[in-house]
Chains A and B, each alone.
Chain A
Amino acid sequence: MKMFRKHLGNLSRVSTQLQRNVVQLSTNAEASPIEETAAASVNEFRTAVANPGEHSALHVAKFYTIPVEQKKQIFTGGGLPKQYEQQIKTFTEPCLMVRSPALELLHYIKNADLTKPVVRYVLYGDNGVGKTLTMAHVLHYGAINDFLLVHVPWAPNWMKRPKEASNASQEGMLDLPFDAAAWLVHFKTQNAKLLQQLQLKTNKEYVWSKRESTPAGSSLIELVEHGIARIKYATDTTVALISELKQLSTAGQCKIMVAIDGFNAFFHPETRIFSDNKQRVTPDRITLTQPFLDITNYDWTNGVCILSVDKIAMTEGYMDSYMPRYLLGTQGFEHIDPFVPIHVENYTDKEFHSYINYYLDRHWINKTPQGFEEQLKFMSNKNPYTLMQLVKAL
């Protein structure tokens, strides 16, 4: 009990410190809208610092709120797990917890020399530890700090449940036109503002058919919009767009953040897509795979590459371990070697306590018999996803 009180004391001290900081900040910014809400929303498990760039070890295990319009911009086309999205809806606020893997990753990105070839960061960890949400946190940072986002919310979707597959112009390859178009829409919603700002132009002419072509020097938005309008050419547009982006960023016109969740799906031994002769095809025969493998190469600069490898991106029989070497296989491992591995783990005691407080604050946990926190800790093994499932019923 004494220890607990001490712990609480520490927390409150930190929060008062924080409040002071925030007040200073807001006075500097002069009458920012944060000011009114800051005092109310800052407590031992919340922070008013909504800019991921400013998050530090001081904010570990605290929740920050993503502004609604930014959340709309970044995560409309996916990027948050479905169940988390539902929770956000229930709690009426898009909150993310600041956790050490995200801070580590942000630290690397902030201190990276962008003139060097891109560094690949690989998030790995057991099921439900928060790889996707770590990525979401970093994506938020990227969106705020003028990175063009090349974000694939969940790559296995293309391999496991594509909308439609059709033969590509190239012999033996398969197109996923609808999925490619959906991705283009996602790209457009994420980057519309920035594309307008940067006025990026294509380097060469793209001829789609006898009558259709995109001339050199047209803006990237035009290219994307063409892909969306002419779904037949969506895949080719994606290929073109990504090669253009690589060239533009190498030329220093923009910086790019590549984020691919479930990257190991590109190296899975087989997909659920059938070719004409009723055979399952391998991922390398899907045209949509090519540009994303291309952009994860290290032959370009002025960007960062965040990949996550996940057990559930695989199918049964390939889910024995969550280590990157196992999930990617030889080919995939060699493709992204060398990379920076970032291990995402279960909650620490502090994070766990903070999350329970958050649930209590949201009135999501109503029954609080004596020792319920200890019991939940035991039952969930401090695994975020398991905790979310357990708490549903309380």
Chain B
Amino acid sequence: MSKTMALRVFGLNLVKTNRSLLQNACKATALPAGQTVAEASYATEVTVHASPAAIQKQKVSKAMKAYLKRATEHDEFMKTQHLEFQIGKRHLANMMGADAETFTQEDIDEAISYLFPSGLYDPKARPAMKTPEEVFPARKAAEFDETGRPFHSMFYTGKPNFFQLLHEIVEETNKLYELEERMLRRGIKPDENQKLEIAGFQVLPKDQLETQLVESIADIEYTNFSNSMDRLIASPYAYKSKAFIERYLKPLMDQSKQLEVPKPKIDEQGRQYITTYECLRKTARADVTVRMPGTGKISINGQDVSYFEDENSREQLLFPLNYSELLGKVDVEANVEGGGPSGQSGAIRWGIAMCLRSFVDQEMIESMRLAGLLTRDYRRRERKKFGQEGARRKYTWKKR
């Protein structure tokens, strides 16, 4: 719980305030900041105004009473948290010799990592200071009035937001079906140009949907959701409800990063070349230069391919060259150190593949990516555990 440690420095003691809230906080910090905006429709900053006098005379249900009490408590708690966060921020800005008014969240992160350097592996476990909205997850607003009568017609399903969403999806789908019917009757075809592009997107994963709805869903319910979303997207007029669909889609990955292929440089002999530094695999580190046009010459630490004695390692080097059909057309120079043969060859293989991007077309790059050539292999040796023979293997069990 290094987070508390960091916060305690600024006079905040979360543990004292509410342990369960703190546990929630750990979950919530993992979410991207943008998510909080989307949540607004289902969960609100609970600000309950004191109920009007007319109602006060009426009988107030016990549930409502309890809720009101909890809400005011939470509200106050959040207020103090806000205040303390502001004070903490000012302290931090002072310490760093910066202006407190223009001190942004980025500056805070930087300051924290400077003041509390941490070698902990998991970024979530490292000290951090964030706004209370981000630390404490949103909670549901009141779902019933003072007399205890629920607002939502689906309150008794237990998951009103979720079933509401399903309803909305089906409504949209039916709308599109009707539209399709009408258009068919008139003989109009859907606009091909406006067709919804969902390549590179996926339906919101379960955990993100849960935080958006502020409700926990079962697996089968999530399947129902994704199936009905698929049905909606499959409609030829899906572009008509683009705005709705996009609320429940998530981009698969940052494609712009992948598209950035470095331009080759020209060496003194007039050949194009590109160098990839920091090619890593296991504990091996390499830098690889690929020159085009070449004759297929390979040089690894000044030696030819016989640097690798075993067949497997040579095959590793062969694969990207063969796959991109540039075997014998480029020269490869590599400097590699650390690790063993398989790590070294893996590092060089990745380096070659990354370099070759500059010499092949976009289609081939995509194909290479799908073949896994451009993916870093992050696997490392697993440590041995005490009481065990190795990483996983247990000692032979003997009765006595």
Chain A positions 343 through 378: 1 when the CB is less than 8 Å from some CB of chain B, otherwise 0: 000000000000000000000000000010011001
A375 to B321, CA, bound (A): 10
Are A379 and B318 neighbours in the complex by a CB distance under 8 Å?
A: yes
- Given A371-B322, A371-B327, check contact A378 B314 (CB 8 Å): yes
A374 to B298, CA, bound (A): 14
Q: Assess whether A56 is interfacial by the CB under 8 Å rule.
A: no
Q: Assess whether A134 is interfacial by the CB under 8 Å rule.
A: no
Instruction: Using CB atoms, name the residue of chain A closest to B317.
Output: A378
Q: Assess whether B328 is interfacial by the CB under 8 Å rule.
A: yes
A375 to B314, CA, bound (A): 10
Q: Which residues of A contact B304 (CB under 8 A)?
A: 381
For the complex, count residues of B whose C-beta is within 8 A of A. Answer: 15
- Given A374-B327, A374-B328, check contact A381 B305 (CB 8 Å): yes
A126 to B325, CA, bound (A): 31
A381 to B325, CA, bound (A): 18
A371 to B304, CA, bound (A): 21
Q: Which of B298, B305, B306, B322 contacts A375 (CB 8 A)?
A: B322
Q: Assess whether B254 is interfacial by the CB under 8 Å rule.
A: no
Are B327 and A375 neighbours in the complex by a CB distance under 8 Å?
A: yes
A381 to B305, CA, bound (A): 7
Chain A positions 375 through 387: 1 when the CB is less than 8 Å from some CB of chain B, otherwise 0: 1001101010000
Shortest beta-carbon distance from B332 to chain A in Å: 11
Instruction: Using CB atoms, name the residue of chain A closest to B298.
Output: A378
Interface residue SS majority, chain A: helix
Q: Assess whether A390 is interfacial by the CB under 8 Å rule.
A: yes
Q: Assess whether B377 is interfacial by the CB under 8 Å rule.
A: no
Shortest beta-carbon distance from B308 to chain A in Å: 10
Are A378 and B305 neighbours in the complex by a CB distance under 8 Å?
A: yes
Q: Which residues of A contact B328 (CB under 8 A)?
A: 374, 378
Q: Which residues of B contact A381 (CB under 8 A)?
A: 304-306, 314
Chain A positions 108 through 134: 1 when the CB is less than 8 Å from some CB of chain B, otherwise 0: 000000000000000000100000000
Top 6 A-B residue pairs of the complex, sorted by shortest distance between their CB atoms: A381-B305, A381-B306, A379-B314, A374-B327, A378-B318, A374-B328
Besides the known contacts A378-B305, A378-B314, A379-B315, 16 further A-B residue pairs in the complex with CB atoms under 8 A apart: A126-B306, A371-B322, A371-B327, A374-B296, A374-B327, A374-B328, A375-B318, A375-B327, A378-B317, A378-B327, A378-B328, A379-B311, A379-B314, A381-B305, A381-B314, A390-B311
Query: B: which residues have CB within 8 A of A?
Result: 296, 298, 304-306, 311, 314-315, 317-318, 321-322, 325, 327-328
Q: Can you identify 14 A-B contacts, CB atoms within 8 angstroms?
A: A126-B306, A371-B322, A371-B327, A374-B296, A375-B322, A378-B296, A378-B317, A378-B318, A378-B321, A379-B318, A381-B304, A381-B305, A381-B314, A383-B306
